[in-house]
Amino acid sequence: MAGRKKHNRRRRRGSFAPLYKLLCLALIMGAVAAAMAVFFKAEKIEVSGNSRYTAQQVVDVCGVEQGDNLFFMNKYEVAGRISQALPYVESVSINRKLPESLRIRVTECVCDVALEQAGGVWLLCQTGKVVDFVEVKPEGSAVVTGVTLAEPAVGGSLAAAEGSEAALAELRALLDHLRAKGMLADVQEIHLEREDCVSFRYLDRLNVEIPWESDLDYKLDFLAAVVAKLEDYETGTLKMMVDGEARLLNE
């Protein structure tokens, strides 16, 4: 009888063992959380990668204040607030440097495209973000005509107005290929008004014409090969409407 009672006591203690383990784990986690809340606070915010905006401007809009806990803050919300408040910021990287520093690295937009509309130009960065609206396009940006944006706003994304969907899709594809091949810097204008072709000003001396929905990878490689054979003084309209054929019509 005594052995049976002793066995039952052991069984009762054993049945509570998982509960004890969970309780200990909860206490440990609580202690760790309390330590993180007490010790890891933002005492210094470091900003890098900025040139258009000052470090203080970035700090002012990030939403993090001195004394805020580094672990309990949401890095993605911080990055989102910066990108939304500062249109020329293309991307944001947030890192914690324990025990007391927050590092914010911003990448600012390269506005290489200016889309004409409403008596001015909308500046676009490589991600398609609408960065600014100015009356005169910046030097070095390719001016785009023939595309109408739907309710463009600084900080917003590209959206085509009704009837411009195909033109915007063609523009996106052309820009992607030009950037990938390192050719966009040599493009001054892009025109998408015509129904028979897309045209763009290249090297500030050639008006290149290609069909809509062309194999852009092939067409741009062919363009580079043709230009390599031209003399620097040769100008005019370079018609590339047929694959494997390029006709230069002098101005």
Domain boundaries, the chain: 2-38, 40-108, 114-249
CATH of the domain spanning 114-249, picked from 3.40.50, 2.60.120, 3.30.450, 2.60.40: 3.40.50
CA dist 188 and 161 (Å) reads: 24
CA dist 227 and 188 (Å) reads: 16
User: What is this structure's pTM?
Assistant: 0.77
Q: Residues 112-152: pLDDT tens digits? A: 999 999 889 999 988 888 999 998 888 889 999 999 999 99
pLDDT at residue 226 in the model: 95
Query: Is residue 164 helix, strand or coil?
Result: coil
**Sheet of 89-97: strands edge to edge?**
44-48, 101-108, 89-97
Q: Residues 37-59: pLDDT tens digits? A: 555 577 888 999 999 999 999 99
CA dist 89 and 98 (Å) reads: 26
Structure tokens at 136: 């005169």
Tally of residues, the chain: 251
Question: What topology does CATH give the domain 40-108?
Answer: Ubiquitin-like (UB roll) (3.10.20)
Higher pLDDT, 27 or 117: 117
What single-letter amino acid sits at 243?
D
- Exposure of 236 by Cβ count < 10 A (0-12 exposed, 13-18 middle, 19+ buried)? middle
Structure tokens at 202: 């290249």
SS3 sequence of 2-29: HHHHHHHHHHHHHHCHHHHHHHHHHHHH
